[in-house]
Amino acid sequence: MSNRSNSTGSSSKSQTAVELPISKETRVLNLKTGTSILFSKDPSDREVKWLGIEDDVIWLKDTASGATEVWVGDAAEREKRSYCAGKIASYAFHLKLKRLFNEHDDIAIAVACPTTSTGGMYTLKQGEDVVAEDEVTNAIWYTTLRKKPVTEDGTEARYIISPTKWANALRGTGLESPMPSPLGSMHDFDISSSGIVFLSKDTTGGSPNFPSINVYYIPLKTFTEVSRPRPQIIRVKDYEGRSSHPVFSPNGGSVAFLKKQHPIDQNDRNRIIVINRIRDFRAYVTVDDMPTQQSEKSWHLSPFTFSWSDNGTELYVVAVDHGIRRLFKIPAALSSIKKEPEPITSESNTPADVRHLRMVFSAPMEARP
């Protein structure tokens, strides 16, 4: 999937600036042929992702009332088969999906939504007064998609939002995720068959100038749990700096993220942290820094983003080396690294961000074992 937008306008001392509407397209790219087809040019369609079943995709659609609809359709033949799978009573963003492979073949779905101080979804309705900013925060909401028959003979089935509706993962915790801009991003949380990991400011530590940002883990199996598990903070021994970019491995058994060692040193490097057997996680975690054969124990570069390989055995890491963004491949078992990683991209052909690779890695999801 790719998004493309264009806008034009002109201004000078003798002219009035004219702002024209922004046009936006979502296209389906065939990586083998290099050709693409138009999927949507509706500006209300957002965040189109592969659902993982044949050519099905899922996306968010804005409504005039401020709510968000969840739509499912065929990537190649949207007009022939597309439908609304459910509705979210707020503006939703940062759509995340994970196939659970349970008896119903449910798909876990999570989004971020503006949330009131009482833990409900916030939508500004017509005629209502605006709620004070300190009464609205971001929170992660989750539920499942389940395929159900829509015809009497059962020949046609559609994915429908679970009747258990949406659950606020952060209700009553005092935590906020995704964090407000400029700190927040789409990489502030991730989901898997093991639950949810997310970034949030530590309400008990840090300072206004150097807030402590940590990774938290919420264990989930069905994403329909009646009682919501409390988030567990992932603390790493001897590492007190900011955490960033938490991502589950493809099978959900491990979590990788970036973390600084020093809480206030702005020049400190990011380190890659991998937590294995995340379901067994307890309290503090002791990790080994990435060993090399260099005089310096740690890798001298500072990664700023990464992605898991399809099989979960390697990490593709982007780091700046001598002013150039380069892509590296390292084993996910960090203790097995015996020498300093070498780049796998040249100076003339370096991706701006590993998210370009994630687009390929994530489409479509794995098949049922």
What HEC string does the chain produce? CEEEEECCCCCECCECCCCCCCEEEEEEECCCCCCEEEEECCCCEEEEEECCCCCEEEEEEECCCCCEEEEEEECCCCCCCEEEEEEECCCCEEEEEEECCCCCCCEEEEEEEEEECCCCECCCCCCCCCCCHHHEEEEEEEEEEEEEECCCCCCCEEEEECCCCCEECCCCCCCCCCCCCCCCCHHHEEEECCEEEEEEEEEEEECCCCEEEEEEEEECCCCCCCCCCCCEEEEECCECCCEEEEEECCCCCCEEEEEECCCCCCCCCEEEEEECCHHHCCCEECCCCCCCCCCCCCCCCCEEEEEECCCCCEEEEEEEECCEEEEEEEECCHHHCCCCCCECCCCCCCCCCCHHHHHHHCCCCCCCC
Q: Are 246 and 232 in contact (CB under 8 A)?
A: no
Token representation of residue 31: 């990586």
The reported pLDDT for the residue numbered 368 is: 45
Q: What region, left, alpha or beta, does residue 43 occupy, with left being phi > 0 and alpha being psi -120 to 50 degrees?
A: alpha
Whether cis (ω within 30° of 0) applies to the bond prior to 182 is yes
- Splitting the chain (369 residues) into consecutive groups of 10 residues, what average pLDDT does each group show? 48 45 76 87 92 87 93 87 92 94 91 93 68 80 91 80 88 92 78 96 70 92 89 88 94 93 82 90 66 56 90 91 84 85 66 42 41
What is the C-alpha separation between 159 and 161, in angstroms, rounded? 7
Q: Per-residue pLDDT tens for 100-117?
A: 988 888 999 999 999 998
What is the C-alpha separation between 67 and 83, in angstroms, rounded? 17
Q: Per-residue pLDDT tens for 320-345?
A: 887 788 889 999 988 888 888 888 86
Q: Are 216 and 175 in contact (CB under 8 A)?
A: yes
Burial of 246 (0-12, 13-18, 19+ CB in 10 A): buried
What does pTM read for this prediction?
0.84
Question: What letter represents residue 2's amino acid?
Answer: S
The reported pLDDT for the residue numbered 312 is: 94
What is the C-alpha separation between 331 and 337, in angstroms, rounded? 7
The reported pLDDT for the residue numbered 252 is: 94
What is the C-alpha separation between 188 and 200, in angstroms, rounded? 8
What is the C-alpha separation between 211 and 205, in angstroms, rounded? 7
Cβ neighbours of residue 11 under 8 Å, at least 6 residues apart?
A: 17, 18
Label the pairing between strands 284-285 and 232-236. parallel
What is the C-alpha separation between 144 and 169, in angstroms, rounded? 14
Q: Which of 302, 334, 307 is nearest to 319 (CA)?
A: 302
Residue 345: CA count within 13 A, CB half-sphere: 21
Token representation of residue 338: 């015996």
The reported pLDDT for the residue numbered 173 is: 93
What is the C-alpha separation between 288 and 127, in angstroms, rounded? 57
